[in-house]
Amino acid sequence: MKITRVTPRAVAEPGGLTYLVVRVDTDEGVSGYAETTAGPAPQVTVDQLKRELSTLVGANPFRAVQIDEALKSVQASLAARAAANVACLDILGKATRASVYEILGGPTRHKVRAMAVLGDASEDMLRASVLAAKQEGFRAFSVPLTMPSGKERGRRFYTGIRSTLDGLRGAAGEECDFVLDCAGRTSPGEALSIADRLAGFHLLWMDEPCGELSATAQASLAKGSAMPTGYGRGFTDVARFQDLLREDAVDVLRPALATHGLTAVRKAAAIAETYYVAVAPFHRGGPIGTAAGVHVCAALPNSFVQERPFSTNSANRQFRAAISGWDEKPSDGFFPLTGRPGLGLAVDEHVLDAHTVAR
Amino acid sequence: MNRRDLLKASLLGVAAPAFGQAPPASSGLGCGDCFAKEIALAMPAAPRLKVTGVKTFGVTSDALPRDRPHVFVKIETDAGVVGWGEATLEGKAGAALQAVHDLSYAVIGQDPMHVEHHWQSMYIHAFYRSGPVLGSAISGIDQALWDIRGKVLGRPVYELLGGPIDERGVRGYYHLRPVLPANAPYREQVAAIRERAEKFGVTAFKTGIPGYYEWIDTHQRIKEAIDQLHVLREVMGDAIDIAVDFHAKTSPAVALQICREVESLNLMFVEEPCPPENVQAMKRISDRTTVPIATGERLITPYGCRELIEGKVVDILQVDVNHVGGVSALWKVAAMAESSGIVMAPHACEGPVGAVASTHVDAAMPNFLVQEICSGVEPDAKDALWQELLGYPAMRMVDGYYPLPTKPGLGIEVDERALARHPFGGTKPFVLLPVHEDGSIASP
């Protein structure tokens, strides 16, 4: 089998979320799909991926590692390498009539825990989003930390976080779990104070409690509290995860699917396994990325949850289901495994065409 | 419902379809009182096929080292697809054979495609984790499951791992075995081996160091080892890679003296310059010499490799697909090593099934260096036995590479009639049981 064409394009959801969809065609009529980030200038990213991925034409899509080594040798972008990896696995799965999680050695479970990523909003809107997501089948929610506009913190900042989370759990029920997404905006000291204030709440974990600091600084929360911490959405190399693990700095690895693809996430997970550390792939894009995340989580022994962006906008939800042929709905907190070949999606090119913003 | 209840509920959900009834609830009173034990074996998704049997074959032959009867594992399925693996464990053949049967509960009746799930079950449910006997048994079963996975999907195992990276196959090395009569002088032996290496395209060899060593040793013994390695490089020339196996015969104190005085030879690596239990001792050596240090053949599971990788103690890891935990574990160790700039030179001194399985994983490793096989540049009686068992000259290099099988799975067919011609003759100890001149125990 040979790759005959690679087609990246940027698509925009009705709500504005934009991401890249990459289609890889072969001479045997099997096509694979992948998704990656659009970046701040989607047309620039599309042009770059076109250039980088054109080198795949003529390659055997079953040689995912060989292809990645070739892309790495020409300093191709991480987005290109991640997309090539996922699309090749999709093709291999379809060609062998196996789900991607089966190709990867799974399943290790028959369903994958799901988490709804909620957007920035007022407390009332957050509560409405949690309830809507729960209605859709989620039992775990990633809640953004709202930071004061200035430098002032004060006790009210910390008590407010606790109050918001208590309110959300009160509304959603004791069976619901939360991640506090700090998005790298807190300092290590602030993160420690928040962790202290949240004692007994049992967050799943605090996500990205501080930004791209040294591993020692990033470890300060883990060393100073019992609060589980998640890191890694911005890491561009698996080796960074190994550094954090060596520092005892992380409880949940958060490799971004759009940056790493599936094989590298699997490698990060293999490193984490020997530290008894879980993996929850970071994903803030579309349904093809969600599907890829569900597949890798289904294959890993130490995955915990796969997140996806949640929107109360019904047009968004309809769009995502239309382009992928999958409604991304969990059942009682878990994504079911479909068992369909490859990523198990039925991508609708017509809907993609209608929402393409760069090609 | 709290998180513990959530977990419990999720497990209950798995159990009911598999066993037809809810499992007994945990009282939560006793140590290890957990209902999950049997539930976790169940994966309710409709299986493609089911494991119906796990068989073992011990193979004893004069062509093999006496401690190394081959232990093969055959997994049968209701679809007629069978998988082969190897659980050979030097000096513990009987224990490995029995351990495979002890673990068969984890896969019988299960879908063989779920290899990671079964690996976790065999390792975690064993309670007493790791150890070479358990590791070898897991390895044999894991390889057989991968063989089945490849056959069901119609692809070689290396393709399921994303490989091969190099279409020529997997680069290998032979051991420095005599090709002239045993009493021929060392220089002449090496020259004859070099001549054959050039003829066959072999680019790397491994040798040992002479004799046995105490933890502090004499000028004469240390100098003998150093001089021999210098002669080896001189006669072998600069184009061929040379690895040297200290075989854990030396202490850090002795190994360091030898390593420092052979640095100019640019060896490919020195292997096991001290025993493997003490990682800090190994680090003491690697910190003080420029010779690349290799170890790993006695390490079991990725957990057993973590400290070496974390501390960047070695340059090369040599885990063995027959002990570390099969294809699944070898791939994981390579992934762990890759992020630390450690390259892989997997060990293989048992039988041909595991050796071939190792080449499948090698083919998909970006950080692969070289694959061992305990054979010489000239085929011998063991190679003839392997040809009899597998129907082709398994693990014989062509122009310095082991060719990759092209058939699905591991790409090999084991001849059971040939196995029957070499029935298991019982467990035998290691080939050498050396003592020092004062009668104290020496490391072989």
Query: pLDDT-derived band of residue B3, with 50, 70 and 90 as boundaries?
Result: very low
* Residue A112 host element (H or E): strand A111-117
Is residue B143 within 8 Å of residue B84, measured between CB atoms?
yes
Q: Is residue A179 part of a domain?
A: yes
Whether residue A169 sits in one domain with residue A57: no
Q: Is residue A342 part of a domain?
A: no
Q: Is the ipTM of this complex over 0.95?
A: no
* Cis preceding linkage at B164, omega within 30: yes
With CA atoms as reference, report the closest residue to B10 among A304, A333, A278.
A333
Is B332 touching A (CB cutoff 8 A)? yes
**Both tokens assigned to B205:** 């060899």
Residues 80-139 of A with CB under 8 A from B: 88, 92, 96-98, 102-111, 139
pLDDT value of residue B27: 58
Q: Is residue A104 part of a domain?
A: no
> Residues of chain A whose pLDDT is less than 50?
none
**Both tokens assigned to B213:** 């060593």
Q: Which domain holds residue A352?
A: 3-97+347-358
Whether residue A128 sits in one domain with residue A82: no
Q: Is residue A341 part of a domain?
A: no
pLDDT value of residue B15: 33
Predicted confidence (pLDDT) per residue in B210-264, tens digit: 999 999 999 999 999 999 999 999 999 999 999 999 999 999 999 999 999 999 9
Q: Is residue A163 part of a domain?
A: yes
Q: What share of chain B is helix, strand, coil (3-state, %, to 5)?
A: 40, 15, 45
- Please give the average per-residue pLDDT across B274-289, as a whole number: 95
Whether residue A123 sits in one domain with residue A70: no
Is position B347 annotated as part of the catalytic site?
Answer: yes
Whether residue A141 sits in one domain with residue A90: no
pLDDT value of residue B215: 93
- Please give the average per-residue pLDDT across B162-175, as a whole number: 97
Distance from CA of A190 to the nearest CA of B (A): 27
Whether residue A28 sits in one domain with residue A168: no
In this predicted structure, the answer to whether residue B20 has a pLDDT above a threshold of 70 is no
**Both tokens assigned to A45:** 């990213």
HSE (side-chain half, CA atoms, 13 Å) at A152: 4
Whether residue A354 sits in one domain with residue A316: no
Whether residue A265 sits in one domain with residue A228: yes
Predicted confidence (pLDDT) per residue in B396-431, tens digit: 999 999 999 999 999 999 999 999 999 999 999 987
DSSP character at residue B246: -
Predicted confidence (pLDDT) per residue in B36-54, tens digit: 445 444 565 578 899 999 9
Q: Chain A residues with CB inside 8 Å of B3's CB?
A: 177, 202
pLDDT value of residue A216: 83
Q: What long-range pairs does B292-299 form, CB within 8 A, spacing at least 24?
A: B292/B267, B292/B268, B292/B316, B293/B269, B294/B243, B294/B269, B294/B270, B294/B318, B294/B345, B295/B271, B296/B320, B296/B324, B296/B333, B296/B347, B297/B272, B297/B323, B297/B347, B297/B349, B298/B132, B298/B323, B299/B323, B299/B324
**Both tokens assigned to B304:** 């057993």
- Would you list the DSSP string of B174-193? EE----S-TTS-HHHHHHHH
Query: pLDDT-derived band of residue B33, with 50, 70 and 90 as boundaries?
Result: low
CATH of the domain at A52: 3.30.390.10
Is position B230 annotated as part of the catalytic site?
Answer: no
Per the model's pLDDT, the better-predicted residue between A124 and B20 turns out to be: A124
Residue B267: φ, ψ to 5°: -65, 150
Whether residue A161 sits in one domain with residue A238: yes
Residue A139: closest CA among chain B residues belongs to which residue? B6
Query: pLDDT-derived band of residue B7, with 50, 70 and 90 as boundaries?
Result: very low
Whether residue A295 sits in one domain with residue A147: yes
**Both tokens assigned to A213:** 């600091």
Q: Is residue A106 part of a domain?
A: no
CA A305, B336, B175: angle at the middle one, nearest 5? 145
pLDDT value of residue B139: 98
pLDDT value of residue B12: 35
Whether residue A139 sits in one domain with residue A56: no
Whether residue A90 sits in one domain with residue A163: no
Task: Indicate the number of domains in chain A.
Answer: 2
CATH of the domain at A238: 3.20.20.120
Predicted confidence (pLDDT) per residue in B204-225, tens digit: 999 999 999 999 999 999 999 9
Q: How far apart are CA B91 and CA B431, in angstroms?
A: 9
In this predicted structure, the answer to whether residue B8 has a pLDDT above a threshold of 80 is no
Q: Is residue A192 part of a domain?
A: yes
Is residue B365 within 8 Å of residue B327, measured between CB atoms?
no
Query: Which of the following is catalytic: B114, B118, B247, B360?
Result: B247
In this predicted structure, the answer to whether residue B68 has a pLDDT above a threshold of 60 is yes
Whether residue A55 sits in one domain with residue A166: no
| A273/B116 touch (CB, cutoff 8 Å), yes or no | no
Distance from CA of B47 to the nearest CA of A (A): 10
